[in-house]
């Protein structure tokens, strides 16, 4: 049978999907960077020879065998742009993304830049090799001005391009932005999605102008709370590209109506981006709704829907500090895999797990050769105590899914876990502890913003996951977060 949103069965699955050794090692931590921030934005990707990680606003790479860092200290996110004299990208504004383009075997660093003048740019660096330790390593760098596509509010201020998410596809790179009103507490009032000219960018050539669409259209000067924000572009996993001419798809949440009493939703959004580089006027961007089992977004607050802070820590009763579940949106990645006889898209998010505030991980698989639709879904919540949040999901070439996430409770320091199952055989998920945290974030509600699960492009089986935790309590004005990188392989993937 297909798992449904109400499926809470949890047992040790068939030996066919049992993991081999889960190996973890330390990633970037706050002591290694010059100006650590509370908002960490940990993410990364696995390539042919290294795992590369980003935290706000630095990156580091680690050898896949020895786990040794490639550089003595994490590198500033501005470095590739400074080295190439890309002047508008020397002051990155956070929300950086590390991606490995499986189809081209190249590394990508993508980050928003915020200038003192109030101008915004999207900055993309593409490596000339898959080996970050190669003496010949260099970066093709690009700056894309964003102000022309962001719109302005009634005060004349440009909307802030928040939470950019990046996806690799055969015909383009795709990036999505939330439009936040700086005069209304950075409330989301819409979105912009752009296609970047991947073909020319991979060769260091001058790309065609980016093609962008927005919703609402036109962008309002007095926008209201936008319920389907934070789009996640499909990102190719494995070495099989999408079928020729295949459109890019993106997904986003459909939050409950902001009416003061609704707390649940039964839909998510699907977005179809068709890009035509020869005749841009033929490009299209369309939205449709997908029905899903009913859910309440994690930590949903009727009075202030964008306030999703309800994750307790062991110190919460004493400090009154709960951390952010970021439950008002779907979480990256929308992992795409072409199996030949079918195509599969996976995405996950944080939802309320029962009648209490406890949160769990909802996941969806979309399939379909034309417009994809919901094929199956489920919720990972095997107990009544732990809060599970900040997920990222992927699948290997054998159809095994793995989702990584943080866990916490009033009696448990925030830690890291994963669950895995086979999507075709419908085995119930098996949960595994990746790392136990030993400290709380007592002085800030910020937690992660997102994490990353990716699959090794060499064996197309090994999962790699990165997220944050605390080794000791963070108090006062301290910033002392840690990140942990884990990898594991399921025995049924050969």
Q: Is the peptide bond before 57 cis (omega within 30 degrees of 0)?
A: yes
**What pLDDT score was predicted for residue 432?**
97
- What residue spans define the domains of the chain? 15-158+240-248+258-265+297-488
What letters, b where the CB count within 10 A reaches 16 and e where it falls short, cover 256-290? beeeeeeeebebbbbbbbebebeeeeebebeeeeb
Strands, E assignment, 78-155: 97-101, 106-114, 120-127, 139-145
| Cα(29)–Cα(46) distance, integer angstroms | 19
CATH code 2.120.10 for 15-158+240-248+258-265+297-488: yes
pLDDT in tens, the chain (494 residues): 333 333 333 333 444 457 778 999 999 999 999 999 999 999 999 999 999 999 999 999 999 999 999 999 999 999 999 999 999 999 877 899 999 999 999 999 999 999 998 999 999 999 999 999 999 999 999 999 999 999 999 999 999 999 999 999 999 999 999 999 999 999 999 999 999 999 999 999 999 999 999 999 999 999 999 999 999 999 999 999 999 999 999 999 999 999 999 999 999 999 999 999 999 999 999 999 999 999 999 999 999 999 999 999 999 999 999 999 999 999 999 999 999 999 999 999 999 998 889 999 999 999 999 999 999 999 999 999 999 999 999 999 999 999 999 999 999 999 999 999 999 987 789 999 999 999 999 999 999 999 999 999 999 999 999 999 999 999 999 999 999 999 999 999 98
Q: What is the pLDDT of residue 17?
A: 57
| Residue owning tokens 């095997």 | 382
3-state secondary structure of 65: coil
């Amino acid at each position: 049978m297909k798992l449904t949103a109400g499926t809470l069965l949890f047992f040790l699955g068939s030996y066919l999907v049992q993991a081999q050794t889960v190996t973890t090692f330390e990633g970037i931590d706050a002591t290694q960077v010059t100006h650590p921030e509370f908002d960490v934005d940990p993410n990364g990707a696995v390539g042919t020879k290294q795992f590369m990680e980003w935290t706000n606003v630095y990156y580091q790479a680690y050898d896949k065998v020895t786990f040794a860092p490639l550089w003595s200290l994490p590198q500033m996110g501005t470095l590739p742009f400074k080295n190439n004299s890309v002047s508008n990208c020397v002051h990155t504004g956070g929300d950086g993304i590390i991606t490995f383009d499986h189809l081209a075997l190249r590394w990508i660093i993508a980050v928003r830049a915020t200038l003192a003048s109030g101008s915004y740019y999207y900055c993309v660096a593409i490596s000339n090799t898959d080996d970050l330790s190669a003496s010949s390593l260099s970066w093709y760098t690009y700056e894309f001005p964003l102000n022309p596509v962001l719109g302005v509010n009634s005060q004349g201020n440009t909307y802030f391009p928040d939470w950019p998410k990046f996806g690799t596809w055969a015909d383009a790179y795709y990036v999505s932005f939330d439009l936040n009103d700086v005069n209304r507490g950075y409330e989301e009032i819409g979105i912009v999605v752009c296609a970047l000219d991947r073909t020319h960018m991979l060769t260091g050539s001058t790309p065609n102008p980016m093609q962008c669409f927005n919703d609402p259209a036109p962008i309002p000067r007095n926008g209201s709370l936008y319920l389907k924000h934070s789009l996640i572009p499909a990102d190719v996993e494995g070495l099989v590209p999408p079928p020729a001419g295949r459109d890019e798809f993106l997904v986003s949440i459909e939050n409950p109506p902001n009416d003061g009493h609704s707390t649940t939703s039964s839909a998510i959004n699907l977005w179809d981006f068709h890009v035509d580089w020869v005749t841009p006027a033929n490009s299209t961007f369309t939205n449709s709704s997908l029905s899903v089992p009913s859910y309440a977004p994690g930590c949903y607050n009727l009075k202030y829907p964008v306030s999703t802070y309800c994750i307790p820590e062991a110190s919460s009763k004493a400090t009154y500090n709960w951390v952010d579940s970021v439950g008002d949106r779907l979480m990256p990645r929308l992992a795409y895999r072409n199996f030949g006889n079918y195509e599969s898209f996976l995405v996950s998010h944080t939802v309320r797990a029962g009648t209490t505030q406890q949160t769990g991980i909802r996941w969806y698989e979309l399939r379909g050769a034309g417009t994809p639709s919901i094929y199956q879904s489920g919720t990972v919540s095997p107990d009544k105590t732990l809060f599970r949040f900040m997920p990222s999901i992927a699948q290997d070439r054998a159809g095994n899914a793995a989702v990584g996430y943080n866990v916490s409770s009033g009696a448990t320091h925030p830690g890291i876990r994963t669950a895995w199952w086979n999507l075709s055989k419908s085995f119930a998920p098996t949960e595994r502890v990746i790392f136990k945290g030993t400290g709380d974030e007592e002085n800030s509600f910020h937690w992660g913003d997102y994490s990353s699960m990716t699959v090794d492009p060499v064996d197309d089986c090994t999962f790699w996951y990165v997220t944050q935790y605390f080794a000791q309590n963070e108090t006062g004005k301290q910033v002392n977060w840690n990140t942990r990188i884990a990898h594991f392989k399921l025995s049924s993937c050969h």
